[in-house]
Structure formats: structure tokens, C-alpha cells
Structure 1
Amino acid sequence: MTQLNPYGSDPPSLLTSGGRALARDLQRTRREAAVALAQGDGLAEFTAAAMNSTAALDRHRRLLARGDDFLNNLLAEEEVGFVLAAMSIQRGMYRQY
């Protein structure tokens, strides 16, 4: 956002319509950039939490199955369901913007 500063640090003359339009455009661009950065941070936080949860579920599944292939396969279905749900949530984040 520092590249926008040279254009916005010396405000254009608000006496002209071009100056007012430029000031509005710069303000909107800064706002949009701030929202996009916050969305990226939120997505990264969600993804990290989902990855940690997936790893924890995988360890828990192996602990519960204790080498029983049938039980391991049943529990793996539940784990896959979690992963698919998390991916769906991740894809839908910020879609309204």
C-alpha cells in the first residue's frame, strides 16, 4: 500500500471533479486492499487450524483402531468427511466479496 502514498499523501485539489474522483478512488483502493489482506490472514488461520485438526484426527484414528483394519477403515471414513467439510468451508470463505 505504500505505492499509493505518493498519490495520496499530497491530496489533489478537491476543487476539481477529477481531484475528488481521484481521492475517492484512492480511498476505495486502500479500503479494498485492507479487506483483502485481512481475508488472506483469516484464510491462513483457518487453514492452519484445519491442518492441525486433521493431523490430530489422524493420530486419534490410529490410536482407536489399534491395528484393526476394519475399524481403521470405518474411522477413516469419518476422517475423510471432516477433511471434505473443512475444504468446503475453506472454498466458501469470503465468496460474498
Structure 2
Amino acid sequence: MTPGNIETLITVIGIMGFFSLGLVGLKIFVAAWVKRKELAEGGEAQRLLDAIELLRSDQDELRVQLSGEIADLHERLDFAERLLTKGQYDSQQGEMEH
């Protein structure tokens, strides 16, 4: 290789390096611009609103499920109270017969 070829090779590598740095810089600039645009248009806010809506729907499903379970427990408690009252009444009737 001659010194002229080495100079050309170094120049080409330098230009390619400069070009690649330019592409990286352009990529960073475009990413920042898109992010800024999303924030300005409410992109991030929309994602938050979607997440909040998902949590609310999960909360509503849990509320319905718990409401059913509470109703079931209330029925069981009511049955137990009636059974206890009947047992006490039967006990009192048994004492009166003796």
C-alpha cells in the first residue's frame, strides 16, 4: 500500500465514521422529536388514561365478584342465626316439658 492509498483509506473511514455519528445523532433527534410530539398530543396521557380505564374495569369486576360473595355469606349468616334461634326455642320447649 502506498501512502496515498492509506490517506484515501483513512479519509473514507473518517467520512464513514462521521456519517455514522450523524445517523446516530439524527436517530436521537428524531426519537426526541417524536417523544415531544407524543407528549404535546397527549400520547403519554392517553397511555395513562388507558391504564386507568383498565384498572377501573378490573375494579368493577372485583366489586361484582365480592358483592356476590358477600350476598352468599349474608345468606349463610342468616341461616345460621335462624338455626341458632330454632335451637334455643327447642331447648326452651324441652325445659318446659320436664
Provide the TM-score with structure 2 as the length reference. 0.50
Determine the C-alpha separation between the residues in 2 that align with 1:52 and 1:46: 10
| Equivalent residue runs for 1:70-89 within 5 Å | none
Segments of structure 1 that go 5 or more residues without pairing to the other structure are 1-14, 70-97
Determine the C-alpha separation between the residues in 2 that align with 1:67 and 1:53: 21
Structure number with greater CO (CA < 8 Å, separation at least 6) is: 1
Equivalent position of 2:88 in the other structure: 61
In the alignment, is residue 30 of structure 1 matched against residue 57 of structure 2? yes
Which AA in structure 1 matches 2:47? Answer: R
Segments of structure 2 that go 5 or more residues without pairing to the other structure are 1-41
* Superposed structure 1 runs of 4+ greater than 4 Å apart: none
Bigger fraction of residues in helix: 2
1:65 Cα offset (Å):
1.8
Equivalent position of 2:21 in the other structure: none
Q: Quick one: percent identity of the two aligned structures?
A: 9
In our comparison, the structure showing a higher alpha carbon Rg is 2
Total equivalences in the alignment = 55
Determine the C-alpha separation between the residues in 1 that align with 2:71 and 2:83: 18
1:68 Cα offset (Å):
3.9
Root-mean-square deviation (Å) = 1.9
Aligned with 2:74 (options 47, 58, 67): 47
